[in-house]
Amino acid sequence: METAIYICLIMALYSVIRLIFEPEVMRKLLYLNIFGFAISGSFVMIFPDILTLIATCVFLIGNTLESNALASAYAQRNGGE
């Protein structure tokens, strides 16, 4: 279990570093989404409770919808489909 937490935290750290240095906005959204998944996965493993699991699921769904909405709005603004 401890190894899984460290893997999630390494993923979060890596995505933050890539998020800071990435010049393209669409790729930044990808790394922001990965960061959200890694942090919420860490929360579930650090605080093993059913309410934490429910809150994490709600956060993951909201985070995915937000990323998709931002990507869609960005694509429409730049003439994409």
- Domain encompassing residue 44: 2-77
Q: Can you give the pLDDT at residue 81?
A: 55
In three-state secondary structure terms, 41 is helix
Q: Can you give the pLDDT at residue 17?
A: 93
Q: Can you give the pLDDT at residue 16?
A: 93
- Quote the CA–CA distance of 41 and 11 in Å, as a whole number: 11
Q: Tokens 């493993």, residue?
A: 45
In sequence order, what E strands does the chain have?
Answer: none
- Quote the CA–CA distance of 66 and 37 in Å, as a whole number: 13
Quick check: 5 and 45 in contact, CB under 8 A? yes
Q: Supply the pTM of this predicted model.
A: 0.70
Q: Which of 33, 32, 41, 31 is nearest to 9 (CA)?
A: 41
pLDDT, averaged in runs of 10, over the chain (81 residues): 85 92 82 85 84 86 83 75 55
Q: Can you give the pLDDT at residue 14?
A: 92
Number of structural domains, the chain? 1
